[in-house]
Structure 1
Amino acid sequence: MIEYDNIEDPNEWIEEAISKKHIKYYEYEHFSNIEKIGFGAFGKVYRANWRNKEQYLALKSFFNHDKATTKEIVEELKL
């Protein structure tokens, strides 16, 4: 079980969540029709098709990928 409280290393938390299949991981090369739809304090948001499917997914690009940003990603994923 992944410990959600008191996360010391957010990168390790994300890697563990991916390996335990709590989070799906997609290769960037499988996305198409990438279109910027917004931005925020941490980065930009895009919508894109995955493997040429009709369904859109959201992609996020971060301005700075540091420990604080990674912690914010973990907090968002916990929601």
Structure 2
Amino acid sequence: MVDKNEIRRKFELSGLSIADWARQNNFSPDLVYSVLKSKHIPIRGESHKIAVKLGLKEEVNVPIFNFDTNKETN
């Protein structure tokens, strides 16, 4: 995992803008900027996916709990 400053530095060195990266990965540029500015690591939704893709979080495959049947699903 990397920190937000390291991610920004990698963008600077690569010459790729954050907005371009967001569009190439089908994310909203505004949401990517929000994730990078936030003091907290996202825990769900698109923000979570962005954090994983950027390397801010590890991707963990946890079975999803089905509340209708009270069983885990894969």
Specify if TM > 0.5. no
Considering fraction of residues, name the structure with more strand: 1
TM-score by length of 2: 0.31
Considering fraction of residues, name the structure with more helix: 2
TM-score by length of 1: 0.30
Higher alpha-carbon Rg = 2
